[in-house]
Amino acid sequence: MPVQLDAFYLFVAISAIAVGVFVWVALSTRRPRDAGRAAATRVRTWFFGVLAAGLLGGLAWTVPHLPYPRQAQTPDRVVYAVGMQYAWGLSTDPITTPDEWQNSTFADPIEIPAGSLVEFRVTSFDVNHGFGVYSPSRRLLGEVQAMPGYVNRLRLRLTVPGTYWVFCMELCGMGHHLMRGEFEVVPR
Ligand SMILES: [Cu+2]
């Protein structure tokens, strides 16, 4: 998996820099010497400036990506998702009983128009499950816990048409690996 390898190389590079800094400090402080107050203040001011710029830059870069403004939007579609050992029931109508859940697992995959903001209302009728939505190219798009007695919401804007998969993200028993669901995103 290329992403994992990239993360590994990044880890090795950062580790090498950290070790280099430790070695440099160890070698450069073997003899005591006077640093000088003015020079030390200059280094501190510079360090503070770089740190502040980095933090503010990081803030400006990441804050627009927070999902909170999405809560103010009205979803285009609501999908009810119920986990039970060992399948996901997905329906555009509320699933309130194990019978309705069973019918939903045998029904044709639901269809969602491309570009819709979808709100998944996720719960479980037995034990805790993990509700993970995968794109047609098998990328994990979002995840929320499915807990008996609670309804957790997950909002995703689904733009790419194709078959989407729901896999269980939490080991829930012997048939956990079989626990999947699917739905279609269709072109408008
Ligand atoms: Cu499960």
Separation CA 37–CA 59 (nearest Å): 33
Q: Once rounded to an integer, what is the mean pLDDT over residues 132-154?
A: 95
Between the CA of 86 and the centroid of ligand 1 the distance, in Å, is 6
Between the CA of 131 and the centroid of ligand 1 the distance, in Å, is 8
Between the CA of 138 and the centroid of ligand 1 the distance, in Å, is 18
Residue 67 is predicted with a pLDDT of 74
Between the CA of 114 and the centroid of ligand 1 the distance, in Å, is 27
Q: Once rounded to an integer, what is the mean pLDDT over residues 140-163?
A: 95
Separation CA 30–CA 115 (nearest Å): 63
Between the CA of 105 and the centroid of ligand 1 the distance, in Å, is 14
Between the CA of 159 and the centroid of ligand 1 the distance, in Å, is 27
Q: How many CB atoms sit inside 10 A of residue 112's CB?
A: 20
Residue (of 1, 4, 144) closest to 83 by Cα position: 144
- For tokens 């939490």, what's the residue? 170
Between the CA of 81 and the centroid of ligand 1 the distance, in Å, is 12
Edge to edge, what strands does the sheet with 111-113 contain? 111-113, 180-186, 162-168, 129-134, 140-146
Between the CA of 181 and the centroid of ligand 1 the distance, in Å, is 11
Separation CA 104–CA 55 (nearest Å): 48
Between the CA of 124 and the centroid of ligand 1 the distance, in Å, is 9
DSSP string, 150-170: --EEEEEEE-S-EEEEEEE-S
Q: Once rounded to an integer, what is the mean pLDDT over residues 154-174?
A: 94
**In this prediction, what percent of the chain has a pLDDT beyond 70?**
98
Residue 1 is predicted with a pLDDT of 57
pLDDT digits (tens, 9 = 90+) for 70-85: 677 889 999 999 999 9
pLDDT digits (tens, 9 = 90+) for 84-109: 999 999 999 999 999 999 998 888 99
Between the CA of 168 and the centroid of ligand 1 the distance, in Å, is 5
Separation CA 91–CA 111 (nearest Å): 10
In Å, what is the CA distance from 130 to each residue of 94, 105, 139? Answer: 19, 17, 16
Q: What is the pTM of this model?
A: 0.68
Residue 32 is predicted with a pLDDT of 81
Residue 155 is predicted with a pLDDT of 92
Residue (of 47, 57, 107, 50) closest to 80 by Cα position: 107
Residue type, position 44, single letter: R
Between the CA of 78 and the centroid of ligand 1 the distance, in Å, is 21
Q: What is the mean pLDDT of the chain?
A: 92
Between the CA of 171 and the centroid of ligand 1 the distance, in Å, is 6
Which element (helix H / strand E) includes 129? strand 129-134
pLDDT digits (tens, 9 = 90+) for 12-58: 999 999 999 999 999 988 888 777 888 889 999 999 999 999 999 99
CB within 5 A of ion ligand 1: which residues? 129, 168, 172, 179
